[in-house]
Amino acid sequence: MIVENFSGAIFTKQYSLFIKSILDRFVAAIILLLCLPVMLIIAIPIYIDMGRPILFTQPRPGKNGHIFNFYKFRTMTNESDDQGNILSDEKRLTKLGQFLRKTSIDELPQLWNVLKGDMSFVGPRPLLVKYLDRYTPEQARRHDVLPGITGLAQVKGRNAISWEDKFNLDVWYVDNWSVWLDFKILLMTVLKVVQQDGINQEGYATSEEFKGQLREN
């Protein structure tokens, strides 16, 4: 009986996640259509302020570590020093870029990632590919689900909390996911955007690099 109940719970969760994926894509398509004129208007000042490209594109790991192209509106210049080394994020972040980040408008292109099925509206944020070898086995479980535009770590502190706290929240989300939890996170995200809270870690344009603990081969 215990085995049957456990199997039934797994099936129910898998079915719910499938429905979530369908709803994600459906809602993303609608919002993209509604926001397309706004996104085109936003592209104009970005082009004037920073030139091309308009979008910031970067490989990021998704579910099960699958690599996909992640999209955001560009918020930084490509300035470098006399030796050709790219300047720090703090020096490259423009005033327009700061506004886009504070309002989370820079995240709008990720609707395309959701529509493609690379991301969900809610889930652990997709981080850098180079971090994959720095996670502990427990931290790596954050990749058991699709990454999200927003997530539990974002509404609990975003970039203002430590990496350890972020990963603990990500793994807790994986273990405790429910439709109600996603709905609650979405509501809390709206409040965070309005409050413009936790956008950056003190002393950084976003947050410090995750050094992690490199795994032994």
Q: With bands split at pLDDT 50, 70 and 90, how would you rate the model's confidence at 135?
A: very high
pTM across the whole model = 0.84
Residue type, 12: T
Confidence at residue 132, expressed as pLDDT on a 0 to 100 scale: 94
Tell me the average pLDDT across 115-137.
Answer: 95
Q: With bands split at pLDDT 50, 70 and 90, how would you rate the model's confidence at 206?
A: low
Q: What is the CA radius of gyration of the chain?
A: 18
pLDDT score of 6 more than 50: no
Q: Could you give the count of Cα atoms lying within 13 Å of 25 in the half-sphere of its Cβ?
A: 10
Confidence at residue 78, expressed as pLDDT on a 0 to 100 scale: 80
Residue holding tokens 């099925």? 117
pLDDT score of 210 more than 80: yes
pLDDT score of 7 more than 90: no
**% of the chain exceeding 90 in pLDDT:** 60
Q: With bands split at pLDDT 50, 70 and 90, how would you rate the model's confidence at 88?
A: confident
Is-contact 54 47, C-beta < 8 A?
A: yes
Q: With bands split at pLDDT 50, 70 and 90, how would you rate the model's confidence at 184?
A: very high
Q: Could you give the count of Cα atoms lying within 13 Å of 91 in the half-sphere of its Cβ?
A: 8
The residue with greater pLDDT, 91 or 142, is 142
Q: With bands split at pLDDT 50, 70 and 90, how would you rate the model's confidence at 186?
A: very high
* Mean pLDDT across the chain: 86
Q: What are the pLDDT digits (tens) for 26-37? A: 999 999 999 999
Which of 50-54, 114-118, 160-164, 208-212 comes out lowest in average pLDDT?
A: 208-212
Tell me the average pLDDT across 204-215.
Answer: 66
